[in-house]
Amino acid sequence: MTALTALASTTTESRSWSALLQDAIRPEFRVDVYVPQASDRVLFGALCAVSGCPGRGAHHVKRDHHLCISHTKQWRKDALPDVEQWVRTGARPLKTLKLAVRCCARGCPRSVYQHALCYPHYGRWNLAERPPRAAWAAAADAVSVSKEDRCRLPGCRFPAMGRRGFCDTHNAHFASGRKMDRAATAQEYVDRAARVKLSSAPRYDVRRPGRVARA
């Protein structure tokens, strides 16, 4: 179909082969340097195994566990502990992004708001006058959770709560940023997180045909 369209247009104007070839290439690839989205598992590669980290898992640790470059450094600093355990309990957020972690209340799928608890669990714990947290959290009743919506921050897999579409961690992080900049919008926050993510994406330089370089 693409070839037929291209041939038809040569009857009215003479076009170079490179122009014809350009037509045959999907629009997103008609660039000098192609930066794939994180959803492109072939060209982007695996995501970092640390939950909420939007970085590319550039370093393969074992089986389906990849770490981004920054979390690989952090893991090495921690003296290379078992990676499956470490991504759940040892990994810390990177300075450039706020990493969401799970609420420590029993079976709660929401992310942390404060003191290792999601927003409603933190409220209940406060009302109970802050008893020892681990024991309280192990016996806590479930709170409501949105089943369909995920946090809109790129790479965050926690449920979205509240009108901005962020999980508890990212609601709180956005609100704290807003104290410094009253005019900050939720969209700017999302865009900034997307830029952090893109900076860790691989780049395919297609300016030299026959030698597609993965940088």
- Tell me the C-alpha to C-alpha distance, in Å, between residue 52 and each of 12, 27, 82, 205: 53, 30, 19, 28
CB of 5 to Zn ion, least distance (A): 43
**Tokens describing residue 114:** 């404060």
Q: Is 133 helix (H, G, I), strand (E, B) or coil?
A: helix
**What does the alpha-carbon distance between residue 52 and residue 156 come to, in Å, rounded to a whole number?**
4
CB of 145 to Zn ion, least distance (A): 9
Q: Is 112 in the site for Zn ion (CB under 5 A)?
A: no
Q: Which is nearer to Zn ion, 100 or 101 (CB)?
A: 100
Alpha-carbon torsion 69, 193, 82, 114, what sign? Answer: positive
Q: Is 131 helix (H, G, I), strand (E, B) or coil?
A: coil
CB of 133 to Zn ion, least distance (A): 12
**What does the alpha-carbon distance between residue 36 and residue 44 come to, in Å, rounded to a whole number?**
5
Q: Which is nearer to Zn ion, 116 or 206 (CB)?
A: 116
Q: Which is nearer to Zn ion, 71 or 197 (CB)?
A: 71
**Tokens describing residue 126:** 């406060």
Among 47, 97, 101, 103, binds Zn ion (CB under 5 A): 103
In the region spanning residues 42 to 61, those forming contacts with Zn ion, defined by CB under 5 A, are 48, 50, 53, 55
What type of residue is 64?
D
CB of 183 to Zn ion, least distance (A): 22
Q: Is 110 in the site for Zn ion (CB under 5 A)?
A: yes
**What does the alpha-carbon distance between residue 194 and residue 162 come to, in Å, rounded to a whole number?**
21
Q: Per-residue x/- marks for Zn ion, 156-175, CB under 5 A? A: x-x--------x--x-----
Among 87, 97, 137, 151, binds Zn ion (CB under 5 A): 151
| Contact predicate 47/57, CB 8 Å | yes
**What does the alpha-carbon distance between residue 95 and residue 55 come to, in Å, rounded to a whole number?**
13
CB of 137 to Zn ion, least distance (A): 8
In the region spanning residues 60 to 89, those forming contacts with Zn ion, defined by CB under 5 A, are 68, 71
CB of 179 to Zn ion, least distance (A): 19
- Please report, as ranges, the residues that interact with Zn ion according to CB under 5 A: 48, 50, 53, 55, 68, 71, 100, 103, 105, 108, 110, 118, 121, 151, 153, 156, 158, 167, 170
